[in-house]
Amino acid sequence: MIETNEFRWKAGQVGHKLAVEWAWRWWWALALPLAAAAIAGLYDWRWWVVGLALVMVAYPGILAIVYYDIALSPETVRAILPQNVEFGPDSFTIIYKPYAEGCNTIHPLTVEYADVLTCSDNGSTMLITWPKGKVQIPFSAFPTPDDARSALQLVQSKNPNKN
């Protein structure tokens, strides 16, 4: 069994990653109204005012709502909790620790290797995704680099066609 040391992600790191994912997914929803206002502004200058209103009034409000949605998401909460991962022969388990003494804990999450969609080496982290979630494990959380390599190979060997 391979086990990581306890690790957690900073809230800013998680928020940035999820905000970039949101922006990558929804950029067109922000760009289309602005582009339409710019094109209409070629015929009537008041549409330029509408475009500026979008940029200075509407978009900050929309992005504030997105910010709170990201900050309060279960993925963010799980990522900022102290945790460690145990890699067994058929599954891996994410064990969440309480954030502070007296806080509620989240039950451990066990994922079978057969359910894993991807397992990739992102340079300094290992990203494992499955249909209902994902976990990013820093290689520095493993006791040795050999343990990190072994865990990565273990997960990838159980899913040779999914990486």
Domain boundary residue, one of 54, 76, 98: 76
CATH code of 116's domain: 2.30.29
Q: In terms of domains, do 70 and 103 share one? A: no
- Average pLDDT per block of 10 residues along the chain, 163 residues long: 89 83 90 93 93 91 89 84 91 87 82 90 89 89 91 84 56
Q: In terms of domains, do 92 and 126 share one? A: yes
Q: Is residue 88 part of a domain?
A: yes
The predicted pLDDT at position 134 comes to 86
Return d(Cα 33, Cα 28) in angstroms, integer.
Answer: 9
How many domains does the structure of the chain reveal? 2
Q: In terms of domains, do 105 and 51 share one? A: no
From the number of C-beta atoms within 10 Å of its C-beta (0-12, 13-18, 19+), residue 40 rates as middle
Return d(Cα 114, Cα 130) in angstroms, integer.
Answer: 9
> What's the Cα-to-Cα distance from 85 to each of 38, 82, 110, 141, rounded to whole Å?
50, 11, 10, 9
Q: Is residue 163 part of a domain?
A: no
Could you list the residue range(s) of the whole structural domain that residue 27 is in?
11-76
The predicted pLDDT at position 42 comes to 94
